[in-house]
Amino acid sequence: MDPFKKFFAQRMQPTHAQTNGETKHKLDPLHVAACALLLELAHADDVFTEDERNHVHAILMRHFSLDYDTAQELMKLAEDERRKSVDVYQFANLVRTSYDVGQKTLLAEIMWGLILTDGEIARHESYMLRKIANLLDLEPGYLSKARAAAAAKLGGSET
């Protein structure tokens, strides 16, 4: 087994808890890794705003088909793992080896959308996004397209 997948399998076992006869969603280690990357980016400027938190939560619900509570649980687990981690490499490597170029480009677009949520691009955010994109083996051209697409979805300029 790939050492990174083994790490995630050991540290982030999916939950199968049952509550009142309902089975909760499993928390996929790949989802945890992608969420941790988003959270790392959101914290890059040392300010994690409520708008950013809501944006990440909405992304998780929409892109991973999660209900409200499961998305909250995923964010909490990813935040815990992000804080314990020395760097983003382990998260980026799992995503890099699991996502195809289209999925990586969509993730980059989501990341640009997160950065643009507060209306300005902090130097640390831009640096962190380029670092993550590099770890994902995402070429600069894809990153530029992702930025333009995110700006267009937010209805305007790229700040």
Query: Does residue 120 form part of some domain?
Result: yes
Name the helix (H) or strand (E) containing 87. none
Query: Does residue 16 form part of some domain?
Result: no
The set of residues, in sequence order, having a beta carbon less than 8 Å from that of 119 and lying 6+ positions away, is 159
Report d(CA 121, CA 86) in Å as an integer.
Answer: 24
What are the pLDDT digits (tens) for 39-80?
999 999 888 889 999 999 999 999 999 999 999 999 999 999
Domain of 123, CATH number, reads 1.10.3680.10
Domain containing 38: what range? Answer: 25-153
What are the pLDDT digits (tens) for 31-48?
999 999 999 999 998 888
Report d(CA 80, CA 52) in Å as an integer.
Answer: 17
Q: What's the structural domain count of the chain?
A: 1
Query: Does residue 14 form part of some domain?
Result: no
Query: Does residue 7 form part of some domain?
Result: no
- In the DSSP assignment, the letter for residue 18 is E
pTM for the predicted model, two decimal places:
0.81
Query: Does residue 124 form part of some domain?
Result: yes
